Chain A
């Protein structure tokens, strides 16, 4: 274990204090100057200087000082200096401080005593502590609680030292006595903690004899009691019964923290439904009673855990959990909805949906800024409810359709997608939905929502009346023909309109987006307008919404209108017995299309119709003029079929994901079983059983280092010097999260003693050396292991340079051996991650750094190449598997990964198979910082060749 670090202070390198100045100030009599000098000395020490010469000065001039601040700083100083030599023996001069410590322990000032006792808790050197023990013990009975509580902690930490049990054999007994007489809460807690850690049976004994008073104990003590219970029960499951009662009594404690802890303890102790229910209830109460968002979120996390382990019980709690929606915080609401959605059963679905509906209605009235987002969340929740339990769809769909005209495009879009899905999966609802849709169609304002609604109308208007009213509705929304008159042509140069259009174009051209299928292309005019902010419909609703949208130049919508109308006419031909009516309708529709084309080619609008839309409309016209069975089949049947296929595909994907998830949570037949008695542990007593809290703590403090596979270790060995160099060096590089450890083995190959041998390292990139190099002396043909820690602060390819410098006795000059560079691989820092397609697109637009790598490979299959890239960059492919299937000669996919430092790495692969069988295309990498883009690009360039 490396030396522990107990404090950090930012050190301004600009004004380095000189050791001499410090020394002078320390020797003087000026107290403020002394304080200042002590502070500087501590800062220097923290910064890696060793300042051995200061120690004696401090012992001589600072130890005797009466000033309290100086004494406290002195303790800090003693805390951070090296008290042992390289072999771990206590330095002899450390004895000099003992007398001072003892004086401090007998100081009339209770605070000096207290802080000194606290300092002792951080001391590990038995040699220094031993002479102080009598003084420490005498402080246990001091009348000031501040001293007592620290004295108890000091006793505990002494007792926990390797030979502590010999030093203080009767400590537990003493502390137990103190515990029974102690009044101060903190001291009592500390005493109990001491017993808990050092003599568990005594602690248990005390607890059991004072069970009745447990609810009256202070919060601090109750927390420790719960800790103890958890620990005891883990080692001795049979004892559980004794303690459950205590926990139940503590559940009524006044302190929320205790209640929270109780619930946690209950869950860890028992899986009995009553216990779980009690815990869940407690969490729900906390959820409501605590106003702090952090608490709510973490309680929700706990509930989430409970949900995954005890779903059946949590199902009953669903309504209590739902109450958390009352919080205005979106994160809380989202988490709540997530939990609730997993808990829905046929029994409670109605109730839940009712609540959700109420919440949706509430969002309409309130004027909160986040309402739109919240509504969208609710709609999605309802959507998934309805998918799972189609019977509820009927109760919600009409309500939701009120939001089609919502000003937030996203939620309206969600609604319309929901409606589209419901109308297909719930044939019973079709009629009512279509009627409703036709009624509310005029309210829809967004172009995207419009086009989706039009598709629904075109697809699901089956009966004669429906088709007719469909055509009528569209016509009404388009308004009177023609779209523009000659007079309007004169107004074409309306400056406001024009400028608006211009800005929308410039905005969109600056923000190229990636399409849903992963193709990277400049956007067509049609989608541009679709993406632009909710296309404002000028004027009142009296002018139809479609008309105003068309007049802003949205010809993609025009094409959709044309297609819908064509579809409706084709259907009308089937259902309308009267041929005249059909023809009449057909000509009307043709007229509309023609006037749309005319509008597109006129100079009224700032830019003319795009070719795609033009072609589409012309196709529709041609079709209506000249219908055939083939075409009719395509338009009326195949469209629907492919939609159904898409839905089933989606469902299949979802079930597969669930299946995959379920499989992950189970262990493999050949998985290793962890016996926690055999886990790697350091400095722990053999009897102590680890539990999750301790594991948790150890992971956090870095004590728990996973032992990697030895073969992996060997793979990472780097030779640093040549075999014929006087000094041979090799290193293996271990990459941890935030640091790199270089384990360098240095072998003296000469027959001479190398003096002042020093491994000097320098870094490039975002790497930082932690310690200063030390000098060593290396005997002839002996070897030495040197460890160097390097801090990493961002994902970037780093290079470590170095050389070994040494002196020999007969050559006066220092000899330098230059080492091979060590390259730190970016792949160690990034890991595959998932993000939504929308988030990917926004990030893609936001990130400034792009690195474009031309594809140059020997691999011939598109899919094969993609897999190769994924494997070599350690990224996750966001594009669905189904979209990558099949042979079409080109492929586009998005890859995503996140670094341990929370940086995002986006990659888009677009490749096409050339006629000669070779792949061509580009790989684009985007990231917020230059480092990732560059390093990842280098990596890809290096690896893309394949073959090896």
Chain B
């Protein structure tokens, strides 16, 4: 029982609509439909015609024939059922039962036919069902849309609420502010806020950050800030040289900002320049006390050798999870590198550090600020500047050479034996290309970013086994200057300062809380120009 096709043709034999349910060529179906009007006789009381190959079962509808083409073995009872169903469907979709009307609604008819007959076999459906199927009104879709809409609304609400909260806090800030609060900072803090609000479902921490911080943590902040208020005068004697930029700024800003910073607002300034860089510190600290020693490398190398700039900025920050563990001092070891200048936070007892390498607050009764979020409190900053080429952890040589229709570019790197570099990515700008450059040889992997037209050469790890490596690629002829500046990113686990935390000294006695320390060297801006 197979219906080959369901068709509507005019009495004159013009096929108006036909839907085939099995594979057949166009010429075949057109032939069948063209033969039909000649076969159908008049005055017969039955409505089927058989030919050598097929059977037509039809029903006249006004000036049209509704027609099923079936094979001859087909079950006539089923076919008549299908035909009856179709004949009820046609007037449902077609307002005027003539050629024009059918042509106008041809597609609707085809959709309806599809529902009534599948794979040439009768479907058990009623007219109402077919109509329902064709209307495609889905309860589930409505539900889905409602859910989607409500989610959007909810998010919008949250956004509004957050915005108003930020406004509120801004007003509060402005009230206490005596100037110097840059709109940029307020913007960025606002951004972080809303980000937190929607990301984390823990309102306690999120709220603690936002406007409500003024209430939830006000006492702590107040106490800290009042202490620090007296600090600037004392720190006026602090060595003017080698101050971190944050600290330098802090001197000018008022206590409000200071307190924010103490709370961990530092990240705002840290995150901004390092957007997109890997943030290994992203794992939430699990030990009660965490110390992060991070060095940022700011290097500009000349393309034909030599250094134009080499600087290292280091920070040691302390993060304490629990207020109970906050009354501590930190014993550190420095690498005795004479080129490095250390600078402590104004609240840190400088003598203690200079003499015993112990970091502790001036007021030994006060605890360090605690909290889970942020990068903690920075205790110590240092910097190093040098023109010594041998200190450069990684040197990159790029040799573009034009030959004939192509430019061959050879790049090689050489790593300074002190460091094991991880996730090294050397990005070479290329002229705008249609296709990826032909890479002839590479140590490591390469990737072509067509949008920025940059070739990225990445080496997962550079250690003693591959202190040097090279890559060669071919591009269409280009000016050698195009391939500069080459920028390099990498991280390393050892630092220039070799700063280590050796111990934690609890001030109130008892066992020292467990601590972890992380050391990281990041290439902040490392370029070959």
Using CB atoms and an 8 Å cutoff, list the residues of chain A in contact with chain B: 1-10, 12, 39, 42, 68, 72-73, 76, 107-112, 114-115, 118, 121, 144, 146, 149-150, 153, 185-186, 189-190, 193, 218-220, 223, 256-257, 260-261, 264, 290, 292-298, 329-332, 692-693, 696-697, 699-702, 737-739, 770, 789, 791-793, 900-903
Chain B residue at minimal CB-CB distance from A329: B45
By a CB distance below 8 angstroms, the chain A residues around B38 are 901-903
By a CB distance below 8 angstroms, the chain B residues around A260 are 75-77
A220 touches B16 (CB 8 A): no
The 3 closest A-B pairs by CB, nearest first: A738-B31, A108-B144, A5-B26
In the complex, which of the residues B46, B102, B119 contacts A297, with contact meaning CB atoms closer than 8 Å? B46
Can you give 28 A-B contacts (C-beta < 8 A)?
A5-B20, A6-B19, A8-B19, A8-B26, A8-B29, A9-B110, A110-B141, A144-B140, A186-B123, A189-B121, A220-B121, A257-B75, A293-B45, A293-B47, A294-B47, A294-B76, A329-B46, A331-B44, A696-B71, A697-B22, A697-B71, A700-B4, A701-B4, A739-B27, A739-B28, A791-B27, A792-B31, A902-B39
By a CB distance below 8 angstroms, the chain B residues around A297 are 46, 48
Whether, in the assembled complex, B98 has its beta carbon less than 8 Å from a beta carbon of chain A, the answer is no
10 more contacts with CB within 8 A, not counting A1-B23, A149-B118, A738-B35, are A5-B26, A6-B19, A9-B110, A10-B103, A108-B144, A109-B136, A220-B124, A700-B4, A700-B53, A791-B30
By a CB distance below 8 angstroms, the chain A residues around B23 are 1, 4, 701
CB of B142 to closest CB in A, whole Å: 9
A739 touches B31 (CB 8 A): yes
B17 touches A8 (CB 8 A): yes
By a CB distance below 8 angstroms, the chain A residues around B123 are 186
User: How many angstroms between the C-alpha atoms of A502 and B39 in the bound complex?
Assistant: 39
A738 touches B30 (CB 8 A): yes
User: How many angstroms between the C-alpha atoms of A186 and B133 in the bound complex?
Assistant: 15
CB within 8 Å of A: which B1-43 residues:
1-2, 4, 7, 14-20, 22-35, 38-39
User: How many angstroms between the C-alpha atoms of A260 and B1 in the bound complex?
Assistant: 12
By a CB distance below 8 angstroms, the chain A residues around B124 are 185-186, 218-220
By a CB distance below 8 angstroms, the chain A residues around B33 are 8
Whether, in the assembled complex, B421 has its beta carbon less than 8 Å from a beta carbon of chain A, the answer is no
B71 touches A108 (CB 8 A): no
By a CB distance below 8 angstroms, the chain B residues around A329 are 45-46
By a CB distance below 8 angstroms, the chain B residues around A193 are 119, 121
By a CB distance below 8 angstroms, the chain B residues around A219 are 124
B28 touches A107 (CB 8 A): no
By a CB distance below 8 angstroms, the chain A residues around B77 are 256-257, 260, 290, 295
Whether, in the assembled complex, B399 has its beta carbon less than 8 Å from a beta carbon of chain A, the answer is no
B31 touches A220 (CB 8 A): no
Chain A residue at minimal CB-CB distance from B20: A6
B25 touches A4 (CB 8 A): yes
In the complex, which of the residues A9, A256, A293, A697 contacts B2, with contact meaning CB atoms closer than 8 Å? A697
Whether, in the assembled complex, B405 has its beta carbon less than 8 Å from a beta carbon of chain A, the answer is no
B25 touches A3 (CB 8 A): yes
B103 touches A153 (CB 8 A): no
Whether, in the assembled complex, B202 has its beta carbon less than 8 Å from a beta carbon of chain A, the answer is no
B28 touches A72 (CB 8 A): no
Tell me what chain A mostly uses at the interface: helix, strand, loop, or mixed.
helix
Residue pairs across A and B with CB atoms within 8 Å: the count is: 200
Whether, in the assembled complex, B57 has its beta carbon less than 8 Å from a beta carbon of chain A, the answer is yes
Chain B residue at minimal CB-CB distance from A794: B38
CB within 8 Å of A: which B92-126 residues:
99, 102-103, 106-107, 110-111, 114, 118-119, 121-124
Given A111-B136, A294-B48, A901-B99 contact (CB < 8 Å)? no
By a CB distance below 8 angstroms, the chain A residues around B237 are none
CB of A846 to closest CB in B, whole Å: 13
A9 touches B47 (CB 8 A): no
CB of B56 to closest CB in A, whole Å: 11
By a CB distance below 8 angstroms, the chain A residues around B24 are 4-5, 700-702
CB of B326 to closest CB in A, whole Å: 51
B46 touches A107 (CB 8 A): no
B71 touches A39 (CB 8 A): no
Whether, in the assembled complex, B80 has its beta carbon less than 8 Å from a beta carbon of chain A, the answer is yes
CB of B32 to closest CB in A, whole Å: 7
Whether, in the assembled complex, B81 has its beta carbon less than 8 Å from a beta carbon of chain A, the answer is yes
Given A295-B76, A298-B76, A901-B35, A108-B140 contact (CB < 8 Å)? yes
CB of B55 to closest CB in A, whole Å: 8
Q: Interface extent on B, as a size class?
A: 35 or more
By a CB distance below 8 angstroms, the chain B residues around A693 are 71, 73
Q: Identify which of A153, A193, A699 gathers the most chain B CB atoms within 10 Å of its CB.
A: A699
A111 touches B29 (CB 8 A): no
CB within 8 Å of A: which B250-281 residues:
none
In the complex, which of the residues B31, B32, B119 contacts A121, with contact meaning CB atoms closer than 8 Å? B119
CB of B271 to closest CB in A, whole Å: 34
A257 touches B45 (CB 8 A): no
User: How many angstroms between the C-alpha atoms of A111 and B142 in the bound complex?
Assistant: 13
A108 touches B143 (CB 8 A): yes
By a CB distance below 8 angstroms, the chain A residues around B45 are 293, 329-331
User: How many angstroms between the C-alpha atoms of A1 and B26 in the bound complex?
Assistant: 11
CB within 8 Å of A: which B52-101 residues:
52-54, 57, 69, 71-73, 75-78, 80-81, 99
By a CB distance below 8 angstroms, the chain A residues around B69 are 700
Q: Identify which of A107, A108, A329 gathers the most chain B CB atoms within 10 Å of its CB.
A: A108
By a CB distance below 8 angstroms, the chain B residues around A68 are 136
Chain A residue at minimal CB-CB distance from B103: A10
Given A76-B107, A223-B78, A697-B71, A108-B141 contact (CB < 8 Å)? yes
By a CB distance below 8 angstroms, the chain B residues around A42 are 107
Given A108-B143, A901-B35, A9-B20 contact (CB < 8 Å)? no
By a CB distance below 8 angstroms, the chain A residues around B75 are 223, 257, 260-261, 264
Chain A residue at minimal CB-CB distance from B144: A108
B25 touches A699 (CB 8 A): no
B76 touches A701 (CB 8 A): no
Chain A residue at minimal CB-CB distance from B31: A738
Whether, in the assembled complex, B138 has its beta carbon less than 8 Å from a beta carbon of chain A, the answer is yes
CB of A834 to closest CB in B, whole Å: 16
A72 touches B46 (CB 8 A): no
Q: Identify which of B1, B103, B144 gathers the most chain A CB atoms within 10 Å of its CB.
A: B1
CB of A571 to closest CB in B, whole Å: 49
User: How many angstroms between the C-alpha atoms of A603 and B310 in the bound complex?
Assistant: 145
Given A901-B38, A902-B39, A108-B27 contact (CB < 8 Å)? no
CB of B338 to closest CB in A, whole Å: 61
User: How many angstroms between the C-alpha atoms of A56 and B313 in the bound complex?
Assistant: 53
By a CB distance below 8 angstroms, the chain B residues around A1 are 23, 25
By a CB distance below 8 angstroms, the chain B residues around A737 are 31
CB within 8 Å of A: which B398-443 residues:
none
By a CB distance below 8 angstroms, the chain A residues around B121 are 189, 193, 220
User: How many angstroms between the C-alpha atoms of A2 and B102 in the bound complex?
Assistant: 28
In the complex, which of the residues A4, A109, A110, A902 contacts B20, with contact meaning CB atoms closer than 8 Å? A4
Chain B residue at minimal CB-CB distance from A42: B107
User: How many angstroms between the C-alpha atoms of A256 and B106 in the bound complex?
Assistant: 33
CB of A222 to closest CB in B, whole Å: 11
User: How many angstroms between the C-alpha atoms of A5 and B45 in the bound complex?
Assistant: 33
CB of B299 to closest CB in A, whole Å: 44
User: How many angstroms between the C-alpha atoms of A7 and B114 in the bound complex?
Assistant: 11
A700 touches B71 (CB 8 A): yes
Chain B residue at minimal CB-CB distance from A302: B76
Q: Identify which of B23, B78, B103, B144 gathers the most chain A CB atoms within 10 Å of its CB.
A: B23
CB of A795 to closest CB in B, whole Å: 10
A12 touches B103 (CB 8 A): yes
By a CB distance below 8 angstroms, the chain A residues around B118 are 118, 149-150, 153, 186, 190
By a CB distance below 8 angstroms, the chain A residues around B34 are 738, 791, 793, 901
Chain A residue at minimal CB-CB distance from B28: A702
User: How many angstroms between the C-alpha atoms of A793 and B37 in the bound complex?
Assistant: 11
CB of B442 to closest CB in A, whole Å: 28
Given A8-B26, A791-B27, A73-B107 contact (CB < 8 Å)? yes
CB of A70 to closest CB in B, whole Å: 11
By a CB distance below 8 angstroms, the chain A residues around B119 are 121, 153, 193
